[in-house]
Each structure stands twice: as C-alpha cells, then as structure tokens.
Amino acid sequence: MRSSRTLQVWKLGTVNYLEALKLQEKLASDRKAHKIPDTLLSLQHPPTYTLGKRRTDHNLLIPLSDLQKLGAELQYTQRGGDITYHGPRQAILYPIISLREIGLGARSYVEKLESTMIELASLYGVKACAGQKGETGVWVADRKIGAIGIRISSGITSHGLAFNIDPDLNYFKHIVPCGIVDKEVTSLRRETGTLLPSDEVIHEQLISCFARLFGFSSLIWKESNSVLSGDRKVKDM
C-alpha cells in the first residue's frame, strides 16, 4: 500500500516576479533542509518577460527602452529555456518538491508537467500534446498553449509551468517565445471560443491535475492572506 503523500499549496494571487523568485529560493532551501513538505505555489504575475539560461538576446524583438511603454519588465533567471512572457490571466505553478523522494528523474518530471497542462486542456475539450523535439511546452496543433521552464538543484525543483487561460496575446508578438520561430501562441479562451469559469476555478483545476499526476493524496491549502500567519486547511484528494 502506497504511503500517503501531502502537498502544501500556496494560493498567492498576483505576485511580482522578483518577489516570487525570492520566495522560491527560500522555500527550495527549506525543502532541501527538510523544514517544509513538498510545496506548490499557484499564482500569476504582472506583465513580465523572463530570460532563461538558454537565452539569446535577439529573441527579444523590441528595444529594452520600449518595455516600459508596454507596461512590462524584463527579468533574467536561472531556469532552463529561453525567453517567455508571464502576465495576467495565466495560470502559473511553481513546484518546490523533492524529485528524489518521489523517485523521478528530470525528463519524467517535465513529462508530468506537460501531462498536467494536457489534462487541464482536455477538461475543456481541447486536444493538447507535448511539443516535437526541440519544442518545449504544450501545444494545440502548432499553437503553444503552455510553457515549461524548470530548475533542479540538489534534487529540489523550482520554477515550473505557465498555462495560458486568456492572457493578452499581443505581448507575445514582441518576443520569439522560447526561441521557437514561426509558431503561434494560443490560449484556452481562443481554443474553446466559449465563456470560461473564473480564473480561480481554472487555477484549482490545474492544481488538482498536478496533485493527481504526481501522486499526492492530500493537499494543505494556504491562502495568500494567511501564508504568513500559518492558517491552513486540509483537503483530501
């Protein structure tokens, strides 16, 4: 009989990218030291372009001086991958989990992140799939609906995935997303063409898909206004 595994989920709402980065670093250090259980951050960012370790500056198609006009900022990160965009109406998950305890390698971990977004899309009748060789993330035909960029240090993960619910897709026109040319970016709203439930509902569905695929049997929910106070409630899967 498989032992019960618990996932602590922090629902943070909208968080500045750098603040979320610092939080991930702190939590990853705590997870490495066994001070906290496996933890999942659920949030979204204000308009932000991020460059990963595989970055090539020519994939940013506008001058840095024009970013302010767009109301966006640019951040350099230590995650894998090239350039991508984060913004409102995007569901972002940052898992801070121990791959060693779960028994997963890096490739299997990425595949499960892909499956998490594929399963969410399927709830709305959208057939998504993993990209071809060299095409990271999750796709609907040749249109990208979800991005993945991870970091693994001493077996502890950070960064993660971003699923497009209904972001302003115009922001993607100013970059070559993930360094992949001649490919479109899409969203759940564009692919369904129907009225979607609230973003909060979709965020929770994404969390449920993640928890099931990674084998967590119960969730400890922490709301954004109670993270510091330590209030929490337990939900069995």
- Domains identified in the chain and CATH numbers: 6-222 (3.30.930.10)
Segment 93-119 shows an average pLDDT of 96
Span 115-148, pLDDT tens digits: 999 999 999 999 999 988 777 899 999 999 999 9
Active site residue 209: no
The answer to the question of whether 162 is labelled as a binding residue is yes
The answer to the question of whether 193 is labelled as a binding residue is no
pLDDT of residue 228: 40
Question: 3-class SS at 48?
Answer: strand
Q: Are 12 and 27 in contact (CB under 8 A)?
A: no
The answer to the question of whether 161 is labelled as a binding residue is yes
The answer to the question of whether 86 is labelled as a binding residue is yes
Strands (DSSP E) along the chain, which ranges? 6-14, 39-44, 48-51, 73-76, 83-86, 90-96, 129-130, 138-140, 143-153, 156-164, 184-185, 218-223, 233-236
Span 66-92, pLDDT tens digits: 677 777 888 877 775 667 889 999 999
pLDDT of residue 80: 59
Q: Which candidate in 15, 178, 188, 202 is catalytic?
A: 178
Q: Residue 144 burial by CB count (10 A; 0-12/13-18/19+): exposed, middle or buried?
A: buried
The answer to the question of whether 79 is labelled as a binding residue is yes
pLDDT of residue 128: 97
Span 7-60, pLDDT tens digits: 999 999 999 999 999 999 999 999 999 999 999 999 999 999 888 765 555 566
The answer to the question of whether 85 is labelled as a binding residue is yes
Span 150-176, pLDDT tens digits: 999 999 999 999 999 999 998 888 776
Nearest alpha carbon to residue 165 among 129, 198, 142: 198
Span 85-100, pLDDT tens digits: 899 999 999 999 999 9
Residues 6+ apart with CB under 8 A from 196: 124, 165, 166, 188, 189, 202
pLDDT of residue 71: 79
Question: 3-class SS at 205?
Answer: helix
Question: 3-class SS at 25?
Answer: helix
